[in-house]
């Protein structure tokens, strides 16, 4: 069965070279260490040898973290997004048997430039959609300044991949200055994704643009596993809120239950080998809204490990042939217009 891996990371050579020429920011220093330890992010020979294990298998690629807006000024983020997108487009053009397409990188610290890059990447370079992060310099993604971006994505009818974004500077407790034991990554990233979804829902983004297609990394994050709190819990929003905190629960009028909006998101299968969690994701969203995605190459084997584990999970959790076909390739073909 053909497999289209809808959420994979890379760092094309042109982007990689410019990235290592830049003055070091904390975000750049962190990713430089990570990149140096994962050859397949840059080395295509290594990557292709790993991919050969999986037969009829192609990837949808994007630029790995950090967000370009964390690398410097808005001018730097615009430059890096353009370098990244043109390099991704070149990879797809040269290796269509390996790469089904790419998701564009955007300078989200400049909304006007981000919209322009969306237009350029999607209409001229052939991007299948875009990748954004769960915040921009700590600002929530339901901020009014991002409305032109959502409007553009709705008009183009392209997918928005959503990747989490925090680091050790986000402490685990208010009394501490930094996160310990990489809690910021293991649990913090999943909170980031879930908070992003909640702000998109309660901020009215999906109410205004119900055709938007958000692909949430890591199996739709916490939402499927806490759907009782998301459903009956949020049905009671504001009922127990003190009068002096009413502004904290007030927002745009919604025409549906909160839970109904959360079911409008799409999810990938990047659960790192946790079959029971993957089953929960599919049960919540439905097989028609889940796309095979591995998060390669950020596994202990630096490439094939999560791909292999995810394929095994999808084969063992009791899906029928049509459900497996939809998740492995059909949903990606339909959603990404392949």
Place of tokens 């949430």: 216
Tell me if 201 sits within 8 A of 258, measured CB to CB: yes
The model's confidence at residue 33, banded by pLDDT at 50, 70 and 90, is: confident
Domain around 94: 3-238+247-335
Q: Tell me, what's the pLDDT at 24?
A: 64
Q: Tell me, what's the pLDDT at 29?
A: 73
Q: Where do the H-state alpha helices sit in 180-296?
A: 183-186, 188-202, 205-208, 227-228, 258-262, 275-285
The model's confidence at residue 64, banded by pLDDT at 50, 70 and 90, is: very high
CATH code, domain with 38: 3.20.20.140
Q: Tell me, what's the pLDDT at 27?
A: 67
**Least confident interval from 13-22, 47-56, 211-220, 255-264:** 13-22
Mean pLDDT of the region 194-219: 98
Distance separating alpha carbons of residues 304 and 285, to the nearest angstrom: 26
Distance separating alpha carbons of residues 3 and 311, to the nearest angstrom: 9
Tell me if 312 sits within 8 A of 326, measured CB to CB: no
- The count of domains in the chain is 1
Cβ–Cβ contacts within 10 Å for residue 49, how many?
13
């Amino acid at each position: 069965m053909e497999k289209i891996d809808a959420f994979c990371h890379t760092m094309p050579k042109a982007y990689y070279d410019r990235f290592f020429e830049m003055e070091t920011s904390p975000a750049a220093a962190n990713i430089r260490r990570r990149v140096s330890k994962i050859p397949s992010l840059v080395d295509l020979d290594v990557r292709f040898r790993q991919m050969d294990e999986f037969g009829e298998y192609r990837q949808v690629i994007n630029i790995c973290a950090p967000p370009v807006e964390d690398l410097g000024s808005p001018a730097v983020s615009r430059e890096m997004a353009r370098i990244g997108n043109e390099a991704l487009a070149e990879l797809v053009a040269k290796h269509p048997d390996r790469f089904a397409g790419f998701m564009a990188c955007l300078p989200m610290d400049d909304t006007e430039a981000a919209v322009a890059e969306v237009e350029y990447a999607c209409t001229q370079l052939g991007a299948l959609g875009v990748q954004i992060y769960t915040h921009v310099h700590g600002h929530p993604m339901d901020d009014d300044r991002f409305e032109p971006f959502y409007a553009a994505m709705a008009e183009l009818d392209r997918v928005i991949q959503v990747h989490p974004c925090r680091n050790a500077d986000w402490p685990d407790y208010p009394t501490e200055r930094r996160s310990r034991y990489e809690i910021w990554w293991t649990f913090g990233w999943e909170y980031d994704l879930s908070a992003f979804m909640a702000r998109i829902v309660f901020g009215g983004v999906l109410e205004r643009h119900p055709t938007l297609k958000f692909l949430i990394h890591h199996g739709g994050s916490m939402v499927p596993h806490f759907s009782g709190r998301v459903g009956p819990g949020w049905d009671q929003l504001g009922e127990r809120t003190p009068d002096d905190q009413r502004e904290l629960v007030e927002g745009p009028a919604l025409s549906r239950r909160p839970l109904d909006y959360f079911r409008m998101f799409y999810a990938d299968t990047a659960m790192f080998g946790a079959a029971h969690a993957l089953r929960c994701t599919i049960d919540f969203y439905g097989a028609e809204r889940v796309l095979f995605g591995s998060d390669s190459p950020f596994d202990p084997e630096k490439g094939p490990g999560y791909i292999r584990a995810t394929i095994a999970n999808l084969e063992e959790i009791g899906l029928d042939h049509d459900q497996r076909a939809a998740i492995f390739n059909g949903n990606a073909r339909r959603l990404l217009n392949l």
